[in-house]
Structure 1
Amino acid sequence: MASVTVYVDANFHGASAALGVGRHDLEQLGIPSHSLSSLRVPAGMVATLYENTHFQGWSKTFTRDVVYVGDDFNDKTSSIVVGSATSGVIRLQDVQYGPYHGGGDINAWIAAACEAASLPHNPGWVNGFRTLCLRESSYNPNAVNTTDINANGLIAGDGHPQNCSRGLAQCIPPTFAAYHVAGTSLSIYDPVANIAASSQYVRDRYKVSRDGSDFAAKVQQADPSRPPKGY
């Protein structure tokens, strides 16, 4: 399978790493953060570079080779999401902000999200997301947090700063894009797409097992026996 190759020096020289489809923190690859200066992106691949670790902060998407010495993103990268035409990863600019007007309830949305993400529909995921979504959004698919630390950036299509957390599980758009599940809506307010992306985020960020049995143990916000805590 094709891979994206990152280089510390300009013109595709210096220390490098070949990255397959997935999510990569540079320091875990032995490459210092804020050190990249060129990038090879084969046809059919897409690379989204993030300023901060864990796919947070300012981002920029590339679909072709680039040398960014002199560019505003030179030496600014800490994490990278690599996608292909068949992966669920989307570009930040492809996130949609139309409100959700469909029906359903939290149980149906969790079930559909588990199916979309190829996760078992079992008590670990169901109870965890029931608790997490109640705390994050009171089960309101169109919830937006305009007051926390993420509430910044350009104004998005819904009239709110781009980095505001949104939806049932309160994903921020960069996280939604990085962990988007193929086949789900591109709208961050779609409850199934929102929960599905959140499930992939907690699996990657907190190493929650595929069966969800340790979801509440590893993510306090999903544990009804402990106080709420943002995730």
Structure 2
Amino acid sequence: MVSLSNVRFGKTDNDVKTLQSALIEAGFSIPAGATGSFGPQTRSAYAAWQRSIGFKGSDANGFPGCSSLTKLGATAGFTVDCRHPGSIAKTSVEYTKNSGISTDEDTARTFALEACARTGAPREWVTGVSNDANLLTLMQRESSFHANAVNQSDVNAKGPRQADGARLNCSRGYAQVIPGTFAQNHQAGTVNRIYDPVANIAAAINYIWDRYGDISQVQQANPHLPPRGY
């Protein structure tokens, strides 16, 4: 079985090696071979696979999603687990706010780097990838570096009020994740508290990986583009 959460750009593991071997067997070139490291060559080969099964434009971006990976698995003879291994029940999410966290970029950077370490995301997701997209830009736009930020006025602000006084589905924390997204993308080893800086950012990282494939694809994280919800 191959876990979707293991075959991400920048990852090195046996699931990536299985993915690479399947792509090579299907006729897609990876000059370095099945190294187990997901880099530009693997992304290029995977994009070619996506195009071969009908994906077009930005959908053929070389980042595995559940649908395309499942189809590759059916061709190569492996099954795919699309669930995130750290996911929790939405009812397990806790809503206690933080105390004494500064609202400055340096503090946010420290938490973002720890979240990258927990999830396995490259440090470049904080310092900036090839198009300068980075987590700090996303966090500044989403919460102005307020770890206790909660949006009580957008379309998500529905449901019964929780312990923090906000409605259930409000966006919360540094990266403004909603409870359902936090629960589904919760990082194993972090707490269940949605306002916890590391847990909040880690869930956002896992969500970005699953929806976009890489932070470079997220407009809200790109300082050269106007803000846009992610």
TM-score, L = length of structure 1: 0.59
Deviations 1:147-179 (A, max 9, x none): 100000121221111000000000000000000
Residue in structure 2 matched with residue 35 of structure 1 by the alignment:
none
**CA shift for structure 1 position 82:** 4.5
1:156 paired with 2:158, answer no
Residue 204 of structure 1 corresponds to 210
In structure 1, distance between residues paired with 2:100 and 2:127: 21
SS of residue in 2 equivalent to 1:225: coil
The equivalent residue for 1:125 is 126
Q: Does 1:222 align with 2:221?
A: yes
Structure 1 residues 180, 102: CA separation in 2 closer, same or farther (over 3 Å shift)? farther
Q: Higher RCO, 1 or 2 (CA under 8 Å, sep at least 6)?
A: 2
Q: Per residue, is there more strand in 1 or in 2?
A: 1
Structure 1: segments with no counterpart, 5+ residues: 2-22, 31-80, 209-214
Of residues 153-162 and 140-149 in structure 1, the stretch that sits farther from structure 2 once superposed is: 153-162
Pick the structure with more helix per residue: 2
The equivalent of 1:109 in structure 2 is 111
- Residue type matched to 1:120 in 2? P
Question: Would you say how many aligned residue pairs link Structure 1 and Structure 2?
Answer: 150
- Indicate which of 186, 191, 195 corresponds to 1:180: 186
Q: Distance in 2 between matches of 1:112 and 1:102?
A: 18
**1:111 deviation in Å?**
0.8
Where does the alignment leave 5 or more consecutive residues of structure 2 unmatched? 2-64, 72-81, 129-133
Q: Distance in 2 between matches of 1:24 and 1:162?
A: 28
Instruction: State the percentage of identical aligned residues.
Output: 44
Name the CA shift for 1:171/1:160 in 2 (closer, same or farther; >3 Å): same
2:161 counterpart letter in structure 1:
I
Letter of the structure 1 residue corresponding to residue 149 of structure 2:
A
Deviation >6 Å, runs of 4+: none
Matched, 1:100 2:106: no
Partners of 1:156 and 1:24 in 2: how far apart? 33
Distance 2:180 2:113 in 1: 24
Q: Distance in 2 between matches of 1:203 and 1:102?
A: 30
